Structure 1
Amino acid sequence: MQQTTTRYQSHPAGVPLSTPLPQTASAPTTTSKELVHPSIDDSFYFRALEKEGIHLNGPQIQAVRHGSGPLLTLAGAGCGKTTVLAARTGYLIAVREIPASQILLVTFTSKAASEIKERIARIPCITTRAARAVQARTFHSFGLALLRQSGQHEQILSDYATRHTIMKIILRRLKAGETYQPETLLAALSSWKMSGEWPSDLPSKTAEEMKIKEILLTYEEWKQGRNQWDFDDILLHTSDLLNDPQRLSELQSRFTYMMVDEFQDTNTVQYDMVQKLSAGHRNLMVVGDDDQTIYSFNGARQESILDFDKVYPDATIIALPINYRSDSRILGLGTALITHNEFRRPKQLVAAGAEGLPPHYASPANVEEEASFVMDHVENQVRLGKVTYSDVAILHRTAGSSRALLEQLLLRGIPFVQYGNNTVFYDQSLIKTLMDHLRLSLNPRCKEAFQSTLGPLYIPREDGMSYLVEQENKQPKKYPLIHLTRWDRLKPFQQDAVKERIRLIKKLASLKPVYAIQEMRRLFYDKYLEAGDPLLHTQYKDTMIDSLDELESAAAQFDTIDQFIAHADELTLRHQQMEALRDGDAGDAIQLLTIHRAKGMEFRHVYLIGASEGILPHSTALKEKVTQEMKATHSEKVESKLVKAALEEERRLAYVAVTRAKERLYITSPLHFHGKAAEPSRFLLEAFGIKKL
């Protein structure tokens, strides 16, 4: 086990120890018990809530009592927004006598919708029948129900793997499989639909645009011929349905009160649905936090909250400032951090959470030391009985930035749940191609490694493998790839490229792993990726480069190719064993997840890794030019504002990460990242009053 001299400190590196710790004020302790006098007509309702242990604070009571007209409820992290949504629903039914069936409550996840329904059902004044009558649904569930009522019977193509396979088949049929990747085509199609556009309206001015449109329309025709929709189709067709004045009028009359959770996450189509449904009565309550807008890549627009009172000039605005989750020092760090964003609604959270400890900071030498140090600390805390594994969450900015930490978990045999990508770093398709070249350098007859090496040679994978297997059965070779040099389907320059690749593979075995990877990147791989799928926007290309740089960092720890491959294979085996043992029930396990995945969750102990410049904020937000995705989702903004917006979204990510912690928050900032010096994140320094020039 790697020994380090790293220690957790009270201040980030570069901040004088005399600097006061950020801290929020304590929240007032008065609740509905004191604030709602028994003589007030609606006091019976608040007494009923109190019997169930629901003691609302002043701003929450205001939001619950709101009657007609638009209402923006700014619900900061951990400020009880779900409680308010459920309590206001109950208030409308029990006090204002609104029929439960006229209330529509829309959220983003089935879990959130179920939780709100359960809370409504627990309110003593609400009958079981009334609780069931409330329409608490996701956007997709609500839309699908309307479409079914309107006679639409399409099946929902929900499985991503199936859609991916369909797109691969279409690419092969249209002879575009070596130019485009199914995942980027599907992502581009989804982005187009969520901007409110139909596939038939895709641009077709250039040859490239025409080819992309042909592929995507072929995919749409495949679905249509089999009577199938994907999730994006549900929202598009729902929006189209709401363009029918008669149908819209019926729905507006049916749902006279509408509430929307996580309003800052609405994309263009969802926002349009909300406006149409509420236009007749304008009894619209939206709940959200502009400081937690972190999904711009999915079309979420912070302006939905920032401009709410411009769209609805008579709107009531209520802020829920009391945080029930975090220690005042943890919340203080988050608050001091986010105040440096310019495009936000000013708000000051106060703490009512249980007392914990102030955040602790460390600056390990690199990500390898960081991973070892963090896991040493976690294991020690568990050994001392201060925490269980299930109390711990480890948050990271990107999937690739968890590579070293994941390896430590596997090598130590510590149970964990990994959200999102459930493969070992070395088994990801981008990385596997280079790893398979290394495998062939050790064993040129390794059949499992052939297929991923064909792509960078611009040889169709399926056809190329069939030819190799056929020729090997006839005449086995020490280097089976040599058969391709005599394949009449390849042009002379492709055959020459195969010879060059075989010479390179022979050479790799004598190099140190890091040099072997650098050589492959220099000679062909980076060029192959750069010249590949034209739909891979800047952000995705930068992410790919990040992952390849991370591979170099991992390889630098080993002296031989054999050692490196053995290490990768051991991790794959351990990961498979861990998954098999888990069998759907993680039990006492650490949670490993990106900050994006952690939104809406809370944990007793949070370890935020990678809080360094270039990681958080990510390198893509530190460039003078913004990504194509940012331009597409904020087309109305000039470039200079987009640059600032990209950095502000990174700051919101840091805020979300910090405010997931209830009792303990540990933050590590590696001093080196991918072989280069890295300073602690500017977000941490700013929170202590040190502005990065």
Structure 2
Amino acid sequence: MTAQTSPPAAPATGSADAVLEGLDPEQRQVATTLDGPVCVLAGAGTGKTRAITHRIAYGVHSGAYVPNRVLAVTFTARAAGEMRTRLRDLGVAGVQARTFHAAALRQLQFFWPQTIGGTLPNLAEHKAPLVADACNRLRLSADRTRVRDLAAEVEWGKVMLVDPDDYVTRAAAAGRGEPGGLDLPTVARVLRTYEDVKIDRAVIDFEDVLLLTAGVLEERPDVATTVREQYRHFVVDEYQDVSPLQQRLLDLWLGSRRDLCVVGDASQTIYSFAGATPEHLLDFPRRHPDATVVRLVRDYRSTPEVVAMANAVLSQATGKHARARLELVAQRPSGPKPTFTAYPDDVAEAAGVAARIAAEIAAGRSAKDVAVLFRTNGQSQAFESALADAGVGYVVRGGERFFSRREVREAMVLLRGAVRGLDPDHDLREEARAVLVTAGWAQQPPTAGGATRERWESLQALVILADELAGTRPGSGLGDLVAELDERANAQHAPTVDGVTLASLHAAKGLEWDVVHLVGVSEGLLPISFAETADDIEEERRLLYVGVTRAREGVHVSWGESRTPGGRGSRRPSRFLDAVRGQAEGLGRGARATARPARAAASLARCRVCARPLSTGAERKLLRCHDCPAGYDEAVFERLRTWRTDVAREIAKPAYTVFTDATLMALAEAMPDDLAALARVPGVGPAKLERWGEDLLATLATD
């Protein structure tokens, strides 16, 4: 395994100069520019966290910063926890590294009694019950899919600072469609009633924490002054993901101060559906003409082959993000070329990927250094089954939180109890193992899978953390391990579990592995079928870029040409692969010689029956010419038409607004048997999938 060539970590010492050791010239510029507005444009793998933590540490050790007057904000508890850990290793304690919500909630809890009076209302953990109550009050049906859509719309409206009274105009301009299958005026009524429900229940929601904090700072100059005196220096990580609401709060925290450092990469903007916008990052030099702008482009994470692929993915990017594209420069030695493999179907793809991973592990690679990344969570199941059949352990990212697992909670109780009366000279590694054995840990993993394996992997993660703590902080004892676990539990910063990671591309953001398998990289999945506008397509391209840049050494791209074994091989590799396929030496082992290049644009799509170019949207939806023989059962098509008529009558709308005939034909030909496959059928958008997906599957499955 090739060693990473990132500069060595600076020693945890009180010397300011020592903090700068090992930084490259651009990172050093970030670390030593302590005053005024600073904008760091940092590409994937270029050491942005290293640069900003060393900047804070240099500021503290040089006397320019007082630790408790520095507020560093980011977007996940895990990232905030990692930042605190790095700062502590650099000899800096007391810096507030938090998420936007955690920082705001802390301030709101402190100032609420003196500004509003009484106790801060309870924080509602979920919006769904509140939305359902609002629908019931308006005598609207409140099925699960509608409630989910409307809850997302509540969140969007708040982070975009859209008042319910302005919702119709703003939502129409943003192309929000018909959330929950409701027209925009009705959605606006739901949003107003939702606020009434919260008042009646005496609760606030997640976004209210930011809104209320901003309101207090705006209306009480004395509170704003107190906060600005407390925090003199601000650092914002992942600035490309800031929403208008978060920017409003940040502006209020700053006041007239200039001590702001922002870090981001417009090419990693993948959460626009939740209100994230890179405009604040892109416009930073315009809003702050005297800002110092530093570009980090030296990629210490990935091999030249991976970096070249990442650059190629973005080489055809268009739109506002393209002007901020950073051309990465690899710093590591050369490695294997990316592979591109076409499988006959999804089942074969999952089995092939699992076999490749099993071979890698047998050759000595650790399972935790491998990831399988996909566009939708529905793709996970096939790879879970294939890995289990291959005897490979795995972890599904986004499942039950690590510190909520029963075995982890029990282990922490045992570790905490063992601290009392412990000989301080005991070796942390040995002592941790001795305690965790009583919780069920063993030196060798169990041969069984399922819950038994998952329990062992959780305990093994604690063993690994003890080893890491002993290595990075010599002299640490069991009490230090317990303190580290308590801090991580509060921040939900889970240690690494030794298993292949299965995750969506969205969930993989901020993580990295030696080898990444990008699966299902075909038209209809990446870009996803409901990405229709140019902006939507470009965000899908950035998702692939994020996936590629998670890899340190190897990238394996694959797709299935049909959904099920024996199916018609009509799927095409993603158009995003056009610029990168030439890097591979052929198609890779197991690839089909007939694999077709991805289309560059919809106008190049060809009929899967006669290979002639397709000219209409309906033909492209069917992937065949209108006069070529259909590949579906007429009885299935008629059954779908009957279902559509019934639905149209129920919602009092024309039948074509439910689904067009072309979409029904495509459904009859594809015969999807789960929601993930249904989502890949052109014409089945997310709202319709949520509203009618289960009914459609039941109709298709009827004999």
In the TM superposition, 1:334-353 aligns within 5 A as 334-342=310-318, 343-344=321-322, 345-353=324-332
Partner of 1:45: 16
- Equivalent residues of 1:356, 1:662 under 8 A apart: no
What is the CA-CA distance between 1:289 and the residue it aligns to?
A: 0.8
Residues in 2 aligned to 1:649 and 1:169: alpha-carbon distance in whole angstroms = 34
Q: Which amino acid aligns with 1:304?
A: H
Deviation at 1:649, TM superposition (A): 1.1
- Residue 106 of structure 1 is matched in structure 2 by 73
User: How has the CA–CA distance of structure 1 residues 589 and 28 changed in structure 2, closer, same or farther, with 3 Å as cutoff?
Assistant: closer
For residue 128 of structure 2, the aligned residue among 158, 164, 168 is 164
Within-5 A mapping of 1:253-652: 253-342=229-318, 343-344=321-322, 345-353=324-332, 355-383=334-362, 385-412=363-390, 414-420=392-398, 587-621=497-531, 623=532, 643-652=533-542
Q: Which position in structure 2 is the counterpart of 1:686?
A: 579
What does the per-residue CA deviation read over 1:629-683, in whole Å, with 9 as the maximum and x for residues that have no partner? xxxxxxxxxxxxxx33222211111111001111222111333358562222222
Q: CA deviation at 1:381?
A: 2.2
Do the aligned partners of residues 202 and 28 (structure 1) sit closer, same or farther apart at CA in structure 2, a change above 3 Å counting?
closer
Q: Distance in 2 between matches of 1:663 and 1:209?
A: 48
Paired residue secondary structure (2:349) = helix
In the aligned structure 2, how far is the partner of 1:588 from the partner of 1:165? 37
Post-superposition CA distance 1:492-549 (Å, at most 9, x none): xxxxxxxxxxxxxxxxxxxxxxxxxxxxxxxxxxxxxxxxxxxxxxxxxxxxxxxxxx
SS at match of 1:212: helix
Cα contact 1:249–1:280 (8 A) shared by 2 = no
Counterpart-to-counterpart distance in 2, 1:282 and 1:216: 37
Indicate the SS of the match to 2:515: strand
Query: Quick one: which amino acid aligns to residue 135 of structure 1?
Result: Q
What is the count of residue pairs matched by the alignment? 476
Structure-1 separation of matches of 2:529 and 2:78: 34
- 2:630 counterpart residue number: none
Helix, strand or coil at the partner of 1:150: helix
Q: Is the 8 A contact 1:60 1:320 kept in 2?
A: yes
- 1:262 deviates by 0.5
Change (3 A) 1:66 1:27: farther
Task: Sort the Cα spacing of 1:157 and 1:340 in 2 relative to 1 into closer, same or farther, 3 A.
Answer: same
Q: What is the match of residue 509 of structure 1?
A: none
- SS of the residue 1:104 aligns to: strand
Q: Deviations over 1:11-56 (max 9, x none)?
A: xxxxxxxxxxxxxxx99999999xxxxxxxx995232554xxxx11
Higher mean alpha-carbon deviation, 93-102 vs 599-608, is at: 93-102
Q: Does 1:221 align with 2:180?
A: no
**Is the CA contact (8 Å cut-off) linking 1:27 and 1:351 kept in structure 2?**
no
- Of residues 102, 116, 119, the one that matches 2:83 is 116
SS in 1 for 2:501: strand
CA distance in structure 1 between the aligned counterparts of 2:500 and 2:559, rounded to whole angstroms: 21
State the identity %. Answer: 31
> Contact 2:75–2:99 (CA<8 Å) still a contact in 1?
yes
- Checking the alignment, whether the CA contact within 8 Å between 2:20 and 2:28 is kept in structure 1 is no
Name the SS for the 1:692 alignment partner: coil
**Quick check: 1:49–1:123 contact (8 Å CA) kept in 2?**
no
Aligned counterparts of 2:289 and 2:224: Cα–Cα separation in 1: 23
Tell me, what secondary structure is at the counterpart of 1:78? coil
CA distance in 2, matches of 1:29, 1:273: 35
Output the amino acid matched with 2:33.
Answer: H
Q: Are residues 259 and 413 of structure 1, via their aligned partners in 2, closer, same or farther at CA, if it must alter by over 3 Å?
A: same
Give CA deviations for 1:596-623 in whole Å, capped at 9, x if unaligned.
00000001221110122222122223x3
Give the structure 2 partner of residue 192 of structure 1.
Answer: 157
Describe the SS at the equivalent of 1:358: coil
CA distance in 2, matches of 1:380, 1:610: 21
Any conservation in 1 of the 2:266–2:325 contact (CA below 8 Å)? no
C-alpha separation between the residues in 1 aligned to 2:141 and 2:253? 42
| Residues 1:104 and 1:398: Cα distance change in structure 2 (over 3 Å) | same
* Residue identity opposite 1:195 in structure 2: M
Cα RMSD (Å) of the superposition? 3.3
Matching residue of 1:671: 561
Partner Cα separation in structure 1 for residue 148 and residue 554 of structure 2: 38
Please say if 1:183 is aligned against 2:148: yes
Q: 1:181 to 1:309 in 2, by over 3 A?
A: same
Structure 2 CA distance, aligned partners of 1:687 and 1:577?
42
Give the Cα separation in 1 of the matches to 2:326 and 2:191: 44
Greater mean alpha carbon deviation, residues 207-216 or residues 310-319: 207-216
Letter in 2 for 1:73: V
Equivalent position of 2:215 in the other structure: 240
TM-score norm. by structure 2 comes to: 0.62
Alpha-carbon distance, 1:353 to partner:
3.5
Mapped to 2, the partners of 1:263 and 1:31 lie a distance apart of: 26
Q: Distance in 2 between matches of 1:676 and 1:275?
A: 53
TM-aligned CA distance change 1:281 to 1:391, over 3 Å: same
- Superposition deviation, residue 156 in structure 1: 4.2
Q: What do residues 138-174 of structure 1 show as CA deviations (whole Å, max 9, x unaligned)?
A: 10111112212222533443533xx424444554455
Matched letter for residue 109 of structure 2: R
Deviation at 1:260, TM superposition (A): 0.3
Match of 1:64 in 2: 31
Partner of 2:98: 137
Q: Which runs of 5+ in 1 are unaligned?
A: 1-25, 34-41, 423-573, 624-642
Give the superposition deviation at 1:266. 0.7
CA contact (8 A) 2:6 2:300 kept: no
Looking at structure 1, the residues matched to 454 and 67 of structure 2 have their Cα atoms a distance apart, in angstroms, of 44
Match of 2:470 in 1: none
Deviations along 1:172-221, one digit per CA (max 9) or x if unpaired, are: 45542356722111111111111113456544999955543444444333
2:31 aligned with 1:73: no
Q: Distance in 1 between matches of 2:184 and 2:526?
A: 34
Judge conservation of contact 1:78–1:325 (CA < 8 Å) in 2: yes
- Deviations 1:88-127, CA, capped at 9 Å, x for gaps: 1112222252322322211111222222122222224x4x
Note the alpha carbon deviations across 1:423-462, whole angstroms, 9 max, x for none. xxxxxxxxxxxxxxxxxxxxxxxxxxxxxxxxxxxxxxxx
SS, match of residue 620 in structure 1: coil
Give, as a single letter, the amino acid of the residue that structure 1 aligns with 2:17: F
Q: Distance in 2 between the 1:366 and 1:238 partners? A: 52
Distance 2:53 2:514 in 1: 25
Unaligned runs of 5+ in 2: 114-118, 173-177, 401-448, 462-496, 583-596, 602-703
Report if the CA contact (8 A) 1:252-1:280 is conserved.
no
With over 3 angstroms needed to count, the CA separation of the structure-2 counterparts of 1:76 and 1:159, relative to structure 1, is: same
Q: Distance in 2 between matches of 1:198 and 1:346?
A: 34
* Equivalent AA in structure 1 for residue 510 of structure 2: G
> How many angstroms apart in 2 are the aligned matches of 1:272 and 1:289?
20
Partner of 2:446: none
Q: Contact (CA 8 Å) 1:31, 1:58: kept in 2 or not?
A: no
